[in-house]
């Protein structure tokens, strides 16, 4: 065992890129809510893009290394410190055996991703180590991590310490979430209300989806024939309060779909917490494709090697 959880914070889980291709069997894709951050963090420590790391929700987490490794943080900002030394986002650092990493209170964003050289080596199921809460499927017994949990790491290279990203993701959390019209948009009395309103993420939200509080969207049938759904789908139940599906969403649904958040904006959605506000803006297919292409270009940016002294033992 190479990593000990001292304090898990509100929600600490093992995540990777998810169970791609299993939805046809009714198994959610799952995986990181902000896959962009986890993929980039994995690149910094020399891992494959699909390696498992930690998804840290709302900060307030403490971890101790049981053997020296290289790690990197990306995503939300929580004032991370390694034995009192500030840890920047987007730069790989040497984490010596016995040192404690403290993820502090929220500064911006909602989730940080910690990648470690070699990846977290819990057993895989259906091609993934990601935790599906309530499944239960791995990471560790299908549950959030607890104080005292010990995690194994795969074999990694310490030589990646000092690697730095050429550019960090820009989340622009105040910008509207762009969406494509859904197949049932025409059934609503005032579909434009989706764009005009300011919505608040409900406390009754989870990794399956964000429930939104705001003016009710009325007029559509309360039930439709079930159809396949994906992360980003905006469903509207009988209450009229929309639900935006996230990575752990079910694979089919029977609520009317008013829109679908474009894939490039899902990382921004993942950086919100209950109580945060958001808005929507209609988009075109061409814009969605251009945004996806720009995100892929960010993933292809080269790493800059830079000397980064580790905090002393």
CA distance 210 to 208: 7
Q: Where are the alpha helices (DSSP H) in 173-279?
A: 193-196, 266-270
Do both 22 and 103 map to the same domain? yes
Q: Do 187 and 140 share a structural domain?
A: no
Name the CA dihedral angle for 100, 104, 110, 113, rounded to a multiple of 10 degrees.
Answer: -20
pLDDT confidence of residue 310: 39
Are residues 248 and 115 part of one domain? no
Split at pLDDT 50, 70, 90, the class of 303 is: low
Read off the pLDDT band of 304 (50, 70, 90): low
Domain membership of residue 311 (yes or no) is no
Calculate mean pLDDT across residues 236-251. 95
What's the distance, CA 142 to chain centroid? 17
pLDDT of residue 148: 97
pLDDT at 81: 97
Look at residue 298 in the predicted model and tell me its pLDDT. Answer: 80
Which residues are CB-neighbours of 248 under 8 A, at least 6 positions away?
Answer: 28, 30, 132, 133, 206, 207, 208
**Sign of CA pseudo-dihedral 154, 43, 177, 285:** negative
Examine the domain organization and report whether 10 and 143 are in the same domain.
Answer: yes
Q: How many residues does the chain have?
A: 313
Per-residue model confidence (pLDDT) at position 137: 66
Between 1-5, 66-70, 299-303, the lowest mean confidence (pLDDT) is in 299-303
Residue 137, phi then psi, degrees to nearest 5: -125, 160
Is the residue at 303 inside a domain? Answer: no
Q: Does 99 share its domain with 120?
A: yes
**Is residue 207 a part of any domain in this protein?**
yes
Taking residues 96-113, what's their average pLDDT? 97
Is residue 170 situated within a structural domain?
A: no
Domain end point (choices 144, 165, 186): 165
Classify residue 109: in a domain, yes or no. Answer: yes
Going by the DSSP 8-state scheme, the letter that residue 83 receives in this structure is: T
For residues 141 and 78, state if they share a domain. yes
- What is the model's pLDDT at position 307? 41
pLDDT at residue number 233: 98
In angstroms, how far is CA 75 from the centroid of its own chain?
8
Q: Which of 17-31, 185-199, 268-282 is predicted with the least confidence, judged by mean pLDDT?
A: 17-31
Tell me: the pLDDT tens digits for 148-196? 999 999 999 898 888 998 888 888 889 999 999 999 999 999 999 999 9
Whether 62 has a pLDDT exceeding 70, the answer reads yes
pLDDT recorded at residue 138: 73
- Edge-to-edge strand list for the sheet holding 257-261: 277-278, 199-201, 209-213, 243-245, 233-235, 257-261, 177-181, 280-282
Average pLDDT of the residues of the chain: 91
DSSP 146-159: -TT-EE-B----GG
Question: Are 59 and 118 contained in the same domain?
Answer: yes
Residues 16 and 159 in one domain: yes
CA angle 65, 66, 71 (to 5 degrees): 35
Measured distance CA(87)–CA(99) in Å, rounded:
13
Largest CA distance in the chain: 64
List, for residues 25-42, the tens digit of each pLDDT value: 888 999 999 999 999 999
Q: Residue 179 has what pLDDT? A: 98
| 288: in domain | no
Give the CATH number of the domain where residue 245 resides: 2.40.100.10
Residue 40, pLDDT score: 94
Same domain, 229 and 150: no
Mean pLDDT, to the nearest integer, of 194-218? 96
Residues 79 and 130 in one domain: yes
Do 242 and 196 fall into the same domain?
yes
| From 111-115, 275-279, 297-301, the region with the lowest mean pLDDT | 297-301
What percent of the chain has pLDDT above 70? 95
**Quick one: average pLDDT of 238-265?**
95
Co-location of 107 and 190 in the same domain? no
Enclosing domain of residue 71: 3-165
Assess if residue 302 is contained within a domain: no
**Domain boundary, last residue among 106, 136, 165:** 165
- Split at pLDDT 50, 70, 90, the class of 311 is very low
Count of domains in the chain?
2
Residue 73 falls within a domain, yes or no? yes
């Amino acid at each position: 065992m190479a990593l000990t959880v001292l304090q898990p914070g509100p929600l600490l889980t093992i995540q990777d890129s998810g169970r791609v291709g299993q939805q046809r069997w009714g198994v959610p894709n799952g995986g990181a809510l902000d896959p962009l951050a986890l993929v980039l963090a994995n690149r910094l420590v020399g891992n494959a893009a699909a390696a498992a790391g930690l998804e840290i929700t709302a900060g307030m987490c403490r971890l101790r290394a049981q053997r020296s490794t290289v790690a990197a943080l990306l995503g939300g900002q929580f004032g991370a410190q390694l034995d009192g030394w500030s840890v920047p986002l987007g730069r790989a650092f040497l984490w010596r055996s016995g040192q404690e990493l403290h993820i502090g209170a929220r500064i911006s964003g909602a989730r940080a991703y910690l990648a470690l050289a070699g990846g977290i080596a819990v057993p895989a199921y259906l091609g993934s180590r990601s935790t599906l809460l309530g499944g239960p499927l791995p990471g560790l017994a299908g549950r959030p991590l607890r104080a005292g949990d010990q995690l194994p790491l795969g074999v990694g290279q310490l030589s990646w310490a000092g690697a730095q990203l050429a550019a960090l993701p820009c989340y622009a959390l105040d910008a509207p979430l762009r969406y494509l019209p859904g197949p049932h948009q025409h059934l609503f009395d005032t579909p434009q209300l989706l764009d005009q309103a300011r919505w608040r993420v409900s406390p009754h939200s989870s990794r399956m989806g964000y429930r939104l509080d705001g003016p009710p969207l009325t007029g559509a049938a309360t039930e439709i024939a079930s159809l396949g759904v994906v992360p980003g789908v905006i469903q509207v139940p009988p209450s009229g309060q929309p639900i935006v599906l996230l990575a752990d969403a079910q694979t089919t649904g029977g609520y009317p779909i008013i829109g679908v958040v474009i894939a490039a904006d899902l990382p921004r959605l993942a950086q919100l917490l209950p109580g945060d506000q958001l808005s929507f803006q209609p988009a075109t297919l061409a814009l969605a494709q251009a945004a996806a292409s720009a995100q892929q270009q960010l993933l292809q940016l080269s790493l800059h090697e830079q000397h980064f002294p580790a905090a002393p033992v």
